């Protein structure tokens, strides 16, 4: 099972330790720093790896400063692919300290660890256990609320787009009325 490891650059050493612990459990972790060759197109390779992964583990936190742009890109790929809506695809947030979950991960059951004393073997065991039962990683009620919220947001966006199109059509019609008359139709007094 291929397990994509999403992490901030701040958590690179943690991600590497988790990579090793997951390998010892016969899993196939995917970590950009270990999988990508120098000069590879990072965005393309990461997006492809996320799409192909059987599961994604998000190392989140600790919260100190702006979000990492690389992890933000990884999260955007999951949202764009709508993987967060698939209960059969394990998305496992590992919350380090007091980090907050992004909205798309709220329906997923988190693993919490203290930032100062992470037992990587126990963490890898918890992740492996969750991967053996993907349904256990999801709160079905929250996932359904998320689906409904997404559907409503799409309806609102479609309605807004229709309204904009109607307004643009009206403006275009008015512009047509404001066009100057052809020369032969002009009043002799102008």
Give the angle 20-71-56 at the CA atoms, nearest 5°.
Answer: 50
Q: In this structure, are 131 and 146 located in the same domain? A: no
Claim to verify: residue 71 and residue 108 sit in the same structural domain: yes
Q: Name the average pLDDT for the chain.
A: 85
Distance CA 15, CA 11 (A): 6
108 forms bridges with which residues in the sheet?
138
- Does a structural domain hold residue 71? yes
DSSP state of 55: E
Tell me, yes or no, whether 70 and 131 share the same domain.
yes
pTM above 0.85, yes or no: no
Instruction: Give tens-digit pLDDT for 73-131.
Output: 999 999 988 888 888 889 999 999 888 888 889 889 999 999 888 999 999 999 999 99
Task: Answer yes or no: do 39 and 86 share one domain.
Answer: yes
Same domain, 113 and 157: no
Q: DSSP string covering 5-54, please?
A: EE--GGGHHHHHHHHHHHHTTT-EEE-HHHHPPTT--HHHHHHHHHHH-S
- The phi and psi torsions of 98 (rounded to 5 degrees) equal -105, 25
Residue 187 domain flag:
no
Closest to 104 measured CA to CA, from 130, 78, 128, 129? 78
Same domain for 90 and 19:
yes
* Residues paired with residue 28 on neighbouring β-strands, in sequence order: 2
Domain-embedded: residue 44: yes
Asked if 47 and 72 count as a contact pair (C-beta separation under 8 A), the reply is no
Q: Are residues 71 and 12 in the same domain?
A: yes
The pLDDT tens digits of the residues spanning 125-152 come to 999 999 998 878 887 777 777 778 777 8
Residue pair 4/51 in contact by the 8 Å Cβ criterion: no
pLDDT at position 66: 56
Range of the domain at 169: 142-179
Residues 149 and 134 in one domain: no
Query: 46 - beta bridge partners?
Result: none
Residue 15 has pLDDT above 80, yes or no: yes
């Amino acid at each position: 099972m291929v397990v994509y490891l999403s992490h901030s650059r701040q958590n690179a050493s943690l991600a590497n330790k988790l990579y090793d612990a997951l390998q010892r459990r016969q899993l196939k972790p995917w970590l950009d720093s270990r999988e990508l060759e120098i000069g590879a197109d990072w965005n393309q390779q990461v997006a492809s790896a996320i799409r192909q992964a059987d599961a994604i583990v998000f190392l989140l936190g600790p919260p100190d400063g702006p979000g990492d742009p690389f992890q933000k890109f990884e999260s955007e790929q999951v949202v764009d692919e709508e993987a967060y809506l698939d209960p059969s695809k394990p998305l496992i947030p590992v919350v380090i300290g007091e980090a907050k979950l992004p909205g798309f991960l709220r329906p997923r059951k988190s693993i919490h660890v203290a930032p100062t004393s992470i037992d990587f073997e126990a963490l890898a065991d918890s992740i492996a256990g969750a991967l053996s039962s993907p349904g256990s990683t999801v709160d079905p009620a929250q996932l359904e609320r998320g689906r409904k919220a997404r559907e409503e947001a799409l309806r609102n966006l479609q309605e807004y787009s229709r309204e904009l199109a109607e307004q643009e059509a009206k403006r275009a019609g008015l512009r047509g009325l404001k066009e100057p008359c052809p020369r032969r139709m002009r009043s002799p007094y102008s």
